[in-house]
Structure 1
């Protein structure tokens, strides 16, 4: 099965990359946080949040290979270590998201815990060979299922529970807050190691995958993620009854698994395979310590730290470029 999938992927990779990019960016918070923002603050704060989420992969695609020295900075040892540590943080976020959505259902907390740990260990072992291709392929399969499930969930809930409005109030405080959030999200993808690895994979072409311009897949990935967010917004206009809790839990689990698997792989990319596996196992083993914080607490803390790291990357790349230019002029 995987051999046939790989042949199709190798001959025409753009959409495969795009789906994987959208799936990797999503994370558990895309559904949980998106629904909370729409229902709590209304349509305009949600639109700012959604804009930042949609732009981030597009911005990465436009700048990652064009901004002088940025890629060199991203591949430098200090940044690699920081990205690897952020992978651990993201692993916890997405494990937490899966657990929080499955535990209250008929599955129960114990089975939910076992599922989360089993999935994590599976992907650690699964990525020991052909990691980039396997990550792209599994992301595609899970993301197709996400589109189908979220459409079913929203349509069913609207038919059974009806449709209601959400706030259209323009609150200056929330607009400013979500405007800054939009900016932080728009540059968040630069700290995703699997995105940088996709650029290397495309250029090195070690397994014969067709080499392409990677700008297009990242733009497509951003738009595909924006399309998914439209379903998240549609869900804010209805009510999810307890009868669909399991379906909703499976949906968020699928969304989170794509990101979880990518960050388990990301730590192998940044720390090397052997050390990366050790880091991943340690992250999975220590995850339960993070459960009491909840997805929102962990997600907010991560956002506040990541933007400053990305801005520092841009500054370092600019300084590096200026120094090299001056050296060239002097020579």
Structure 2
């Protein structure tokens, strides 16, 4: 009883910065924190700040994203939450996030991917503009809520709303990257926002800097920075380990780096059967220029069957898969 009273006193302190967050209150109630801070003690430090480091924050962000992915893709029926916000994310004793409060959720079946309503419900500040003003909602509405960010980034002060105890030289770059991803999610037009799958990919990408490399598990392939002959432009590519000259994939073909101060953060062949959008492989323009050439290869769905197809300037030159010549 006395412990609950002490926690209550911490929550009603005069200055907002002195009050613990709901995550910290839960830790104190579950006795993960044995020694409670003294209310209104100047300069008192929060005993969970060391525990709630950037790795823990990052894990919670990733867990929320995976929860949204389940609702949008992996659930038997597609679910649009419509009221995603920090207050509707619960944390268990191991700090795993759980999305809650589905009272405003809408279920889609079949090929449905959007809807509209004359009765807008939710929390202003987290609502996508097309939903708040026009009652239109979709998966991208939830993406907007997930990425709700602050205008301070546009004022050049993107880290000012981040708890300073988790900001350091080692974490600052990753924190800023998360803020940038959040800003992609809150763009005005739904078509400009990434899907939750893309968000998770962006969050999980490994960052390498020139001249760092990443080698595959069996040491066969190397992701590295390189410069083709007769140029100082820097590209990021994958080469076969037996020969560094044999580059088999280039990431920034049309946007080479002009010096060695660059970095690369994070390709699978695919075709979206709904939109027709493809991810393909394309040949180099010539032996010294990785810019896009005339040959390309990728997955194309023909008669409902995905096939690997190569083309030259639009004309088919070969293929592999059921029903191909």
Query: Does TM, scored on the shorter chain, surpass 0.5?
Result: no
Between Structure 1 and Structure 2, the one with more helix by share is 1
With a CA cutoff of 8 Å and minimum separation of 6, indicate the structure with the bigger relative contact order: 1
Instruction: Look at both structures and tell me which one has the larger radius of gyration over its CA atoms.
Output: 2
TM-score for both structures, normalised by structure 1: 0.22
Give the TM-score normalised by the residue count of structure 2: 0.22
